[in-house]
Structure 1
Amino acid sequence: MAITTTDPMLGRLVDGRYEIVARVARGGMATVYRATDRRLDREVAVKVMHPHLADGVDGAAFVSRFRREARAAARLTHPGVVAVYDQGVDGDTSYLAMEYVPGTNLRRELHTSGALTLDRALDVVAQVLAALAAAHRKGLVHRDVKPENVLVVGDDAVPGGTAQDDAPGGTPPGTRVKVADFGLARAVTEVTTTTTGTVLGTVAYLAPEVITSGTCDARTDVYAVGVLAYELVTGTLPYAGETPIQVAFHHVHEDLPAPSALVDWLPAEVDALVASFAARDAERRPPDAGAALAAVEAL
């Protein structure tokens, strides 16, 4: 006999303002819902933190950091960044209200179509770096750059569809991307690292210094973009199929393999760009996303 599980958030009115309409996605930190802002009569995305993050003696520390980082993210205004409108706590529910972006994300694009064409891959990387550069200028580091946090908005995207319904060959021309989750990763990382000693993040994109010492700055984001660029042009991660501890070992002790080792027609300049962004020594990387963006534009 089949058992039907209903999400208790569906239909709920959060903080007396946000009516939850549908669940969009679920990740390691939070669940995202499409909602209606009754006060302003507009569609928004509401990201609800998983309750366990605010449990226990350190719950207050998480909520405090979450609020502080949400305020910082809300001050970041850039067309390539998912806008944060509001944050709050409703009972045991910590939430962010954000711009609702119809379409898909880079992870689904890669799963559906594999590697992007080189020009589209470089265009997407440039857009991601432009968004990160705006954050770095304000002293805000993302800490969790990965395909799941890069939302793809095609010109023909509609709610419930994807930006690639009519583009089997890769991300369609004119596609814009927006980077999501500024601030959230920092809030969760701080409380998790402080209380458990655990490094939080998707290990496939973590810079060596994060793994070895937990330190993080703008160059950490640049490293993650280097891994992202590798994935976009090859269609796979550099250490796919291995355990997290094995992946972490590779990042700390080995240089990232050249993309042309998998895609032999890729020019040496692309190999050099990826190697520069994903250098194990942070001092050898571009100092921030603005400098990295200049390198992509020169290429």
Structure 2
Amino acid sequence: METNRLARDRPCMLSKEETVSFVTLFVMPEVETASDRFSEAVEKKFEVRKVKKSRQDAVLRAFLESIQVSMPGTTRVTIITNHNKLRGELPQDIDWKPTSRHFSRRNLMIQRLQSYIELLDSMIEDRKNNSSSPVSHAIFSDFDMIVVDDLGCVFKEFPHFDIAFTFRNNQRQPINSGVIMVRGTFGSLSRATQLLKEVVKIYLAKFRHAFGVLGDQLALADIVKGTLQARAFQEGVPVEATVMTTKTLFLPCVIYNWTPPEGAGQFQGMPTEVKVLHFKGRRKRLMIQAWYFYKKQGVLDFYKMKCLVLKSGRSKYDY
């Protein structure tokens, strides 16, 4: 990718004592068992996994390149992974962090939270031992996203939060964990980590039946309900509240974690100020197509790419 051709100036700048880093979990969950490892069915699964792995790589590369375009020169990315990939295959400023954790599709969301917490614990230790070093804010996100605006601005526009989540107008699952922002000061790191550890406790105590894609959202909703009612999210504007002593910022998904509608009849438009396009579920191929289209344009404007994404929202798309 020709970074110089695509990169643009950041719309807002943090102080010289602050940096922003992304963290994402890039894993292929284990699906086979020892008893049927060599069965024909498992061999077919492996072939499907190879195809998905190649698409997964393309999705990750699009995610990384979009960060380089929207937040150039100031952002590092840490990739927590169980993949065997050489660091040299990735763009610059990427920290490849291998993990020995065995990931399963059924437990993936709680394992993601646990992986985030482990990294936050290490960040707390680093901050404790290097208190005079620049403050490094962290954005934990899924990698099936295209970042189209500078998310570092959040730490400047909302200077008092410890941790930020995105929310939607959904009474049962109002909080989404696809984007989590944590301020890099020692106090904020400590309070944010403690809150996430409490989310894991509630997850294990109340929502084991929902392991998979919903458990973390249900646990987050359970923690928040004592502080905020669902109606607090109905206006679709940022909300700040203290949750278990942690200063928490809730940002609207429609701006900070927007997902293309799927299927005919679901066309709802896209806000002009959207900052993140999240291609979750069956939308991965659309993400690859959209980013290829953007790079082919050779201009510093996401407008046509957004139009392509909206146009595609009227039909089903497959991973």
Q: Under a length normalisation based on structure 1, what TM-score does the superposition of the two structures give?
A: 0.31
Q: Which has the higher contact order (CA 8 A, sep 6+)?
A: 2
